Amino acid sequence: MIENVGWSGLVAETNRPVALVTGAATGIGRAIVESLARGGYDLAVNYSRSEDAARETARLAEATGAATVLIRADVSEEADVIAMIAAVERRFGGRLDLLVNNAGVTSDVPPNKFDTMTVGDFDRVFAVNVRGTFLVVKHATRLLKAMPQACIVNTASIVGLRPGPQPLPYSSSKAAIISMTRTLAGALGPTIRVNAVAPGWLEGDWMERTLGDNYERLMERRAKATPLKRNARVEDVGAAVLTLATQLMFTSGQTVVIDGGYSFVS
């Protein structure tokens, strides 16, 4: 199922580059949209369930002068993805310069209790995080290849590189995203650059849910052990995505860790 809201149906007539950000309603996705809008992009804002939050994300982008389209789609469903890419094509006259695969879900089963997890719970995480990334890249590539300097940025995680407190299917799916990023960089070059961002411990709701009552204590301890003396923020991720898209034009196949240096000194 797909629903387009937030635009008149007219093709956006601007010279701004166009980005599609999946999972853009809140958190990292919203920060990426805001960063790209300030950086001169028009935005396709994808969401799955949180329509009110996604509308607010689009409003924040539009406040910078960006044209937007708001698209409801489950990235794990191929029919939804096909319709989403068609909506982007209609809205922006076939232009797509940047794809940010940020949509993701997790489980609430801690890693040390992985043997209590249902197969359905495990499969849903991989369906959204891994199959969803594959499907969106598969169907967006046609538009990206038409651009002279297109770019894909995938949202991975530090737990895709080293153990952490995240559930088993989540960390495993992010490791798969890092591997997929490298493979796609080879498959899509030289026309399309493909990189990933791997945030460390992020301030906010995601880590608060993961760490529970220990959130404040553990986040403070992590910040003290970090060379830059704080934890990552969603705005840091947004800035990294914009930099990969607009500045690092000879960078592909890389995973940029955003954790203030913690993982390299601990």
Query: Which residues fall within 8 angstroms of residue 233, CB to CB, at 6 or more apart?
Result: 31, 202, 203, 204
Within 115-261, where are the H helices?
A: 119-126, 132-144, 168-188, 205-211, 215-224, 234-246
Instruction: Determine the residue type at 31.
Output: A
- Considering 41, 47, 170, 262, which one is annotated as catalytic? 170
Query: Which residues fall within 8 angstroms of residue 142, CB to CB, at 6 or more apart?
Result: 85
Q: Is-catalytic flag, 170? A: yes
**Residue 102, token pair as written in the block:** 């940020």
**155, β-bridge pairs:** 197
Instruction: Determine the residue type at 41.
Output: Y
Q: Any idea which residues carry the catalytic annotation?
A: 170
